[in-house]
Amino acid sequence: MTGTVRLWRWRRNPLRRRTDVAEAWLGLAAGLVLVAGAPAAGVGTALAVGDALLAERDTAQPRRAEVIGRAAVPVVAGAASRAHAEVRWTGRDGVVRVAHTRVDAGAEPGSRVTVWTDDRGRLTGAPATRSEAWLGAGLAGAGVAACVGVAAVGARNAARGRLDARRAAAWERAWAEAAPRWGRRVP
């Protein structure tokens, strides 16, 4: 019991200000957010993004399509350059669809390409692989954890700045009250 009394003795310190107690609680709250909140937010985000990307991967369907318009000349020349062209494919429901998508540069009309569609038959991009999905999810989680940590530290620093301003104002008031007494001569 004596250890507890000694531990909390600082609470009865006559020099302790309310702003000091508020700053201590702010530091504790920011520390808890950094230690527990930021990692939890990061893990939660990574799991949600990973699951969403994998679900998108499961619903994406490859379709064979025919290029019906000449592929535009690519802006960036190179071996892996891509260009936009009009393509036609038949959906799962048997409806023939036409849309613009990216194909290999120089694809001629009549050439066959693979396009990806979602569960409604709309054209989408190629889905991420499992490793790409989890890499993206990990990066998103790390980004969210970093943002939560920066926000916690920033909020603590902003609140500490306000507390410092209050302490400075109180110090000025105390000096203004005490200064006139110091200037008088005592007989």
Q: Give me the pLDDT at residue 11, please.
A: 62
Q: Which of 14-18, 31-35, 162-166 has the lowest mean pLDDT?
A: 14-18
* Predicted confidence (pLDDT) per residue in 101-110, tens digit: 888 777 788 8
Instruction: Establish how many alpha carbons lie within 13 A of residue 103's alpha carbon, considering only the half-sphere containing its beta carbon.
Output: 29
Q: Cα angle vertex 8, ends 7, 9, to 5°?
A: 95
Q: What are phi and psi of 140, to 5 degrees?
A: -65, -45
Q: What are phi and psi of 104, to 5 degrees?
A: -60, 140
Considering the entire predicted model, what is its pTM? 0.68
Q: How far is CA 131 from CA 57, 66, 128, 138, 139, in A?
A: 12, 30, 8, 10, 12
* Predicted confidence (pLDDT) per residue in 135-182, tens digit: 999 999 999 999 999 999 999 999 999 999 999 999 999 998 888 877
25 CB neighbour count, 10 Å cutoff: 11
Spatial contact of 67 and 103, defined as CB atoms under 8 Å apart:
yes
Identify the residue with better confidence: 95 or 160.
Answer: 160
Q: What is the DSSP string of 130-165?
A: HHHHHHHHHHHHHHHHHHHHHHHHHHHHHHHHHHHH
* Predicted confidence (pLDDT) per residue in 169-179, tens digit: 999 999 988 88
